[in-house]
Structure 1
Amino acid sequence: MRKIIVTGAAGFIGFHLARTLLNRGEQVIGIDNLNDYYSVQLKRDRLKQLDGAAGFQFLQLDIAQRDELESALAEVQPSRVVHLAAQAGVRYSLTNPQAYIDSNLVGFGNILEYCRQHAVGHLLYASSSSVYGTSQIQPLSTEQNVDHPISLYAATKKANELMAHTYSHLYGLPTTGLRFFTVYGPWGRPDMALYLFTKAIFEECPIDVFNFGKMRRDFTYIDDIVEALVRLVDTLPTPDPDFDPLHPTPDRSQCPYRVYNIGNNQPEELGRFIEVLEQCIGRTAVKNYRELQPGDVLETYADTSQLESVIDFRPSTPIETGIQKFVDWYRAYHLTC
């Protein structure tokens, strides 16, 4: 079995990816610090789904602590690293910027250095659709400029792409950045809109609907995200023979470096998203309409043509299907005695 390190293994995407890789017969070393940004119990319950699986090992450690990271992984010799650990959340970054600097910058630097020192064959890492800032060019393409982030979270993700490029250029480390677009599904994060709305509706509490429900998001179902990740694990980036240094784009280079959008390519208005959720639950939400919050963007819409051309796959799960699966999981996890 190959050894694949998955950081953030107790997180939403990391858990689903680790489970899929294990089912494929891979050996997974999962890393997470189990911080309390949201429910630690939810993270532990995700890990319980992986306990006992052949080939799974879990290490609780903080990637921002370089000595701790190196000591724990010195003898692992992984063929791949999928780096999903990060301090998440745009709004949280407005009041807790240091958490993003420690995890998303220092921590990512430590992962890059570990991959260099141990000759890892491919590093895949989580970027974010938030790097596009307030761009009005829709759909959002990896070929367009992303130099104007509007939150520190977004800035750290753009910085990760630049840091990865440097290691690809200087040391030949193959790196692939993944700009995720509003991922949702079972075992999701409690700070995300779908989880918050579902909890509130079941508890008969009002929900806050920002920008009066007129935002559009490219909601992407977790199974589609994982399918793309699994296909990309063995899709090593190579230098682009057509790269033009006079007209460079941010998503490729003369070194083994690529960046892809992973989105549903089908933006939905927040108001419609809530309507579908109400139908799946069978209740109507009490809505508090709010102004647009600082750091939020009006629309995300992924151009996934580059991803499709490389792995012959495009996320396509409709929200009617994905939300129903989330609601079914929520009922089983929270409401079944």
Structure 2
Amino acid sequence: MKQFYDPAAVTLLTGFLGSGKTTLINELVSDPRMHETAVIINEFGSIAIDHDLVRTGSERYMRTTTGCLCCSATSDIRTSLHELHEARMEGAIGPISRVVIETTGLADPAPIINSLIPGGAPATALRDHAVARHFYLQGVITTFDTIDGRSTLASFIEGWKQLAFADAVILTKTDIAEEKRNWALELAVLNPAARFHDRHAPGFDLVSLLGETPYSVSRKAEDVNGWLAMERLAAHPEHDHDPNRHGDEIEAFYLTSETPLDPDAIGILLGVLVSPQNRGLIRMKGLVALSDDPERPMVIHAVQHRMDPTVRLPRWPSEERGTRIVLIGMDLPQRQIRALFAALVARSKKSRRKTA
């Protein structure tokens, strides 16, 4: 039997690669105040990893989309929301009062926002009308990396746009940043209406940033309305865009193996990947199966050449096993990296045979 619900608020969580979005999603969904929250994650590339890094639990609705969000945002987001609407109408899931959409770090927010606000992207199917009736964009939250954010703004227009569209900007990594700056003052020129919050400040409460009133571009920089208007005029026809590429420069590729790696082998690999020689590395993340305890995967993260401390999970987060590492960057030496990885896998296989 179908049920009927009030329109659900949609919160867009954006921010450049490695700025801490997944950490905040984990914090959000673990808060008991967010028990009626669904999560939609968009990842750059054709292999999803983030869904295994978000601890939503089996009771929470979560969907992952992959590929080129800059070209398919309208269809992907509306399709995901329509599937969520149908699921709750049919009683397949419980009540949903809020949806959090985590975008890939390379996403331009304009097409996503246009697909969710009145007067934005035109409806092209009955699905779109249903989404407009049952969901509304409540707000945009952007994470800003206080260590690498300045170089991001100098190199990627997406970083500028993510800040410009935000209602709230969350300053991340302030606990480890060596340089202390007045980021609120510096970034206000990009978005005079934004509220700035230190992720590590005492009393920081992510849930309190989520409101109920519809999203508005009032008081934001003039560029915001221009970007939305340009996006509405631009055509995004279906095409055979490579889901592992963003523009002509940024590309994602993957290292996968069913063979658990020796701990020293993964140490060698990570040392090479984050070395200064790989100047084009923007982001690395993955789950690694290790031979000393294959049932407890290692989580790895790196932003440019800074490696986060590795963490061992108590168990695999899903039925999918085996090492999956995604590398995102510009002009990375793929052939050499793949050759090194293959050699380390072969070495690990040989080591296992000797101890068997």
Superposition TM-score tier, normalisation by shorter sequence: 0.3 to 0.5
Larger Rg computed on CA atoms? 2
TM-score by length of 1: 0.38
TM-score by length of 2: 0.36
Higher helix proportion (structure 1 or 2): 1
Higher strand proportion (structure 1 or 2): 2
